[in-house]
Amino acid sequence: NTVLKAELVALYDLEFVEKRLLEPIQSRTAELEAMFRSLELQVVTAEAAKKEREATAGIPKVAKKKLTQPKSPKINKPTARPLREPMRIPHAYQAKPLPSHAHDASLEGLEKQRQERRAKTLEATVKKYAEAEEQAFELHETRTNLGTLRKQLEAEEQATLDFDRKVYNKPPDFRKKPIVRPTASSILREDALFKKKQAKEARIIEAYEAELKDTHNFEVWQRRMRERDANLAKEQVEMKRQQAYIAEHNAKAAMKQRLLDNAEYAQSLREEARRMQDLRALESDVSRMKNQLLVSEVREVREVAPQAAVQKVLEERRHNRDALKEELEQRRREREEEILVEQAEREERIRKLKAEHFFERPVNVFDPTTHCGKGLLGEMSMCEMQERLEMNRMREEKQRDQRRADIVEHREKKQLDLEKREKKLKELRKAAAEDNARAREQKIRAQQEEARLAQETRARGNERVLKVVEAKRDRINAEHARLKEEERRRKREQMFLGAAHHVVEERKFSQLLKG
């Protein structure tokens, strides 16, 4: 139609659209119309089937299973497979003539050759096993490579013992006093350590001076704050316990209320489901009645409506096709006229542009004393630029000389500073050495005095212990003597008082036994 042609012309050339796109379509108009009619018939049939399904409440018709139609198979007789030709096995044997050397040998000669070969084989075998070395089986030893490793280690140690070296380093002589050459880094490092030590001592003194005060008020305040923190912790624990109890009670109440609400909601859902089921049953009855009426109406118009609808659609399409052809033809003519006008305007514009932009290229001559004349701030001529560069070079040389002088001066100042630091450090080292020597002497004397006092204290302690032990020993001996005397006295009293009658009897029997 015209709409399709207009859209294609907007994208492609008119000739390409008419000859390449629309002409093949027009040549198959009859086939397309037949296809359109078949598609329309399918659409109408599908629409009628849809209406029929709606009339039957969506219940499809159950197609019955078709009966099996027996068909005889086309069976042909198989062709015989060609067999391979059997392999021919010859049964005849053709004898070959005997060689000429067979008549030259005799039985005695053959036997002699066999004996010679046997003797040579025996001799070679005996010689082979006679010259063979005896195989040394080390069955009682464990397989290891310890010997090989030991040999390698010994070879490496032997290689290091090279006493015939012509170039060697002379061993140092420790009797000579070494020369210490201080460097800038060592001087600065030692000076930094000295300053760090001074700062540490200053901090110790400041802390000592700052801490010389009464701490009673601080201790009272600290004790009061700790008691307050402990009371606050107890209050927080009690509050958390109460909150936990209240939360537990609220949770139980909420759980109970939730169960009641769920039960009520479930009951309401069951009632609503019952009402919805009744409503769906009623709607199903109404829908079934409507579908039955619709099916009856469809059956009445089924015979007439499809043909009339198909004919109407075909008429409309023929009318639209004719209108599209006329519109495409009109647009084609208009487009050809527009193309001719545009081509003429384009050629005229090209001629004007060529006439306007034609110019002769001027010949420029370079003058080093003039500038380009663009009006820029840094604009200068070639001669001015060379003078400016010479001035810059001289200024840079002057700055370089000044930097060199500054560097030399800085190095001299640094050398003087290092010399001062080194002199000061030497004095400090000397003073520290003297202090350390005095401290060592005092420490040695203190250790000797402490050892002497410890020895005296140990001796006095030993004496006291000895006196205590001897006194204890004398006391124990006296106690033992007193106990022995008391025992003898008690026995004498028992003998005189007759309390030791059994002892007397025992002595009598012992004397009788002795005779």
The 10 Å Cβ neighbour count of residue 294 is 15
In this predicted model, what pLDDT tens digit does every residue of 100-141 receive, in sequence order?
Answer: 766 777 778 888 888 999 999 988 888 877 655 555 555 555
**pLDDT band at residue 479, thresholds of 50, 70 and 90?**
confident
**Residue 316 covered by a domain:** no
The reply to whether 254 falls in a domain is yes
Query: Does a structural domain hold residue 220?
Result: yes
Predicted local distance difference test score (pLDDT) of residue 54: 72
Who wins on pLDDT, 344 or 64? 344
- Joined together, the tokens standing for residue 33 give 């119309």
Residue 260, in any domain of the structure: yes
In this prediction, residues 310-315 reach a mean pLDDT of 80
With bands split at pLDDT 50, 70 and 90, how would you rate the model's confidence at 275?
confident
What pLDDT is stored for residue 162 in this prediction? 61
> Which of the four pLDDT bands, split at 50, 70 and 90, describes residue 164?
low
- pLDDT of 48 over the 70 cut: yes
Which pLDDT band holds residue 490 (cuts at 50, 70, 90)?
confident
10 Å CB burial of residue 141 (0-12, 13-18, 19+) is exposed
In a domain, 282, yes or no: yes
| Residue 174 confidence (pLDDT) | 78
Least confident residue range of 189-203, 209-223, 304-318, 393-407? 209-223
Cβ atoms of 292 and 55 within 8 Å: the answer is yes
Look up residue 443 and give its two tokens.
């420490």
d(CA 216, CA 426): 48
Q: Which of 192-206, 244-258, 434-448 has the lowest mean pLDDT?
A: 244-258
User: Is residue 321 included in any domain, yes or no?
Assistant: no
Q: What percent of the chain has pLDDT over 90?
A: 7
Place of tokens 């769906």: 280
Tens digit of each residue's pLDDT (9 = 90 or more) over 390-428 = 999 999 999 999 999 999 999 999 889 888 888 888 888
Residue 424: Cβ-neighbour burial (10 angstroms; 0-12, 13-18, 19+) = middle
Provide the pLDDT for residue 115: 92
441: in domain: no
In 357-381, alpha helices (H) = none
Please tell me which residue, 460 or 446, carries the higher pLDDT value.
446
- The whole-number average pLDDT for the span 38-61 is 72
Residue 337 near residue 15 (C-beta atoms within 8 A): no
**Within a 10 A sphere around the Cβ of 43, how many other Cβ atoms?**
13
Which pair of tokens denotes residue 115?
């004996």
Residue 104 CA from chain centroid, whole number = 93
Task: Report the pLDDT value the prediction gives residue 180, as an integer from 0 to 100.
Answer: 75
Q: What's the domain count of the chain?
A: 1
pLDDT at 394: 93
Domain encompassing residue 259: 213-300
Give the CA-trace dihedral at 328, 333, 334, 335, to 10 degrees.
80
Mean pLDDT of 141-168: 72
- Residue 290 located in a structural domain: yes
